Chain A
Amino acid sequence: GNSVTQMEGPVTLSEEAFLTINCTYTATGYPSLFWYVQYPGEGLQLLLKATKADDKGSNKGFEATYRKETTSFHLEKGSVQVSDSAVYFCAFSSWGKLQFGAGTQVVVTP
């Protein structure tokens, strides 16, 4: 069945380090792909999205590329800041509803 697998956390990094969060999905067809972020004490916010193969979504220095051949949508940022500490969720859209991964907590230390 449909599923999203993302790397387990917590991921602890120093400021200015490179961040990668792996995400792979199992779905029928070619769904739209998303990364959502939840900052402490806040709700989920859309970070970026990609709607078709080879599309690259980007926002706030984060990037992810829709890889159809590997069914992946890995999230990357070249230089993280303390303010990037949050839980990151990979998701895809299936018939209007979102299918999420378990979330990856990222902790960035000064």
Chain B
Amino acid sequence: EAGVTQFPSHSVIEKGQTVTLRCDPISGHDNLYWYRRVMGKEIKFLLHFVKESKQDESGMPNNRFLAERTGGTYSTLKVQPAELEDSGVYFCASSRAQGSHEQYFGPGTRLTVT
């Protein structure tokens, strides 16, 4: 069974540009999560999809961030326009169910905004 994959692994962009991160969850996992770790701090929740619907987007920092999951398969997270403070590692995770069920994480996308 393939794990969670993320693309790209690393992105370097200038302030004001747009970047789109992609996450492919494990096949059959309805739940998809985005998290972010900024500058060695704690990993923070961004949002949660159940299939194609946003279940919880309370962690999205502002309206420069847009997440989609069309068709309930892969998800994209777009940052537009990017700011310096958006630099960090963006993790995607998926799970078959919510609650205490294990979330399987991808390797992350390291975003550097200069």
Contacts and interface: CB of A to CB of B under 8 A. Distances in A.
Interface of A: 4, 32, 36, 41-46, 49, 51, 89, 91, 93, 95-103
B98 A96 contact: yes
Interface stretch (B12-20, B37-45, B62-70, B78-86): B37-45
A54 to B, nearest CB: 16
B102 A46 contact: yes
Interface residues of B, number: 28
A97 B58 CA distance: 11
Contacts of A99: 45
B55 A96 contact: yes
A91 B43 CA distance: 9
B31 A96 contact: yes
Contacts of B35: 98, 100
A98 B45 CA distance: 7
Contacts of A100: 35, 42-44
Interface of B: 3-4, 31, 33, 35, 37, 40-45, 48, 55-56, 59, 91, 93, 98-100, 102-108
A74 B76 CA distance: 35
Given A41-B107, A49-B102, A98-B33, 10 more contacts: A32-B100, A46-B102, A89-B43, A91-B43, A96-B99, A97-B59, A98-B35, A99-B45, A101-B42, A103-B37
**5 nearest CB pairs, A to B:** A96-B98, A44-B105, A32-B100, A43-B107, A100-B43
B100 A51 contact: yes
A43 B100 contact: no
Given A32-B100, A42-B107, A96 B42 contact: no
Nearest to B45: A97
Contacts of B108: 43
14 contacts: A32-B99, A43-B4, A89-B43, A96-B31, A97-B33, A97-B45, A97-B56, A98-B35, A98-B45, A98-B93, A98-B103, A100-B43, A100-B44, A102-B41
A74 to B, nearest CB: 18
Q: Which has the most chain A C-beta neighbours within 10 Å: B3, B55, B91, B102?
A: B102
